[in-house]
Amino acid sequence: MRRATIRTELDDPTVIARAIRPDNTDEMDTRVEQTDEETDSSSDADGAVVTTIERETTGGLRTSVDDYVVNVAVARRVAQHANRHTNTQP
């Protein structure tokens, strides 16, 4: 079995994790890890999406990781775009 763990640090990891989980297969596990380093009120949203992917072959793992990375990038861009249009604070 081949395995890869991908950690992506984001401003709002919960939103991204929720967006990408529906594309997960049974061999994928996605979770959110919160950052404890900062103490200001904005740090509640800081953290990382951590996904572990397992596949029988190296080629299968590479393909799954590639698909996953594209999904995260798209979810991040959509979330950033939505935040720009819904954020009414200066």
Phi and psi at 36, nearest 5°, equal: -100, 0
Instruction: Give the integer Cα–Cα distance in Å for 51 and 31.
Output: 6
Q: CATH classification of 2-86, choosing from 3.40.50, 1.20.1740, 3.30.70, 1.10.357?
A: 3.30.70
Asked if 12 and 79 count as a contact pair (C-beta separation under 8 A), the reply is yes
Length of the chain: 90
pTM, entire model: 0.81
Instruction: Give the integer Cα–Cα distance in Å for 31 and 2.
Output: 19
* Residue 37 pLDDT exceeds 50: yes
Which has the closest alpha carbon to 13: 38, 39, 34, 40? 34
The 10s digit of each residue's pLDDT in 24-33 is: 999 999 999 9
